[in-house]
Amino acid sequence: MISGESAITEAMPDLSFESQLNGYVCGVDEAGRGPCAGPLCVAAVILDRNKIPDMIRDSKKLSESHRFKLEPLIKQSAIAWSVVEVSCEQIDAMNILQATMWGMAEAVIRLSVTAHHALIDGNKAPKLSIPSHPIVKGDDRSLSIAAASILAKTARDRIMIEMDSIYPVYGFKKHKGYQAEAHLEAIRLHGPSPIHRRSWATVRNLATSAL
């Protein structure tokens, strides 16, 4: 456990957590736990503390265009980064918590440079061969986690924009698979698509009503 994990702050994320640890520290975050369609994307990032792009923060507090502008800057300046896609079939087979833990562990493993510590957004951490530190609201507090949140979100948004062209009746480009009323109505009318999560009660119920 590293100090400061219980404090909640609205300040911009910084390197306070990273500076308490020796060696390479990766931040890990996911995008897509809540939607009823599409994959979960998980990213891990080891920042170069001497080359950090400006205005990195929790991806949810950035516009879509700003996230896409920051994405290549993070990738170009980072010591290492990885993004893992966890399919809706994997989510249905494992459940969303286990799928998230698997994706986080896999993202750390896939880094081209071995991390010595992992900062994990949330209150749970996957089993890793290195020390892991869960941080509640970590994407608001750690620059490494915030950078990972941006890479995870842009990767997932890109997938959902592509899925919109394949399954246009659902409006994935707009709501990215979250349970917007227009999305739910489309499932009622057309039934679930191949990228809907069949283990979600919402999808099961609407699929039955569409028959």
> CA-to-CA distance for 53 and 42, rounded, in angstroms?
20
Q: Is 164 annotated as a binding residue?
A: no
Q: Within 10 A of 173 (CB to CB), how many other CB atoms are there?
A: 14
Residues ≥6 apart with Cβ < 8 Å to 67:
59, 150, 153, 154, 157
* DSSP class of 81: E
Please indicate if the annotation marks 30 as binding a ligand.
Answer: yes
Is 139 labelled a binding residue? no
Amino acid identity for residue 203 in this structure: V
Cα 143 from Cα 124, distance rounded (Å) = 19
Both tokens assigned to 88: 């809706």
**Positions at the binding site for a divalent metal cation:** 29-30, 121
**Positions at the binding site:** 29-30, 121
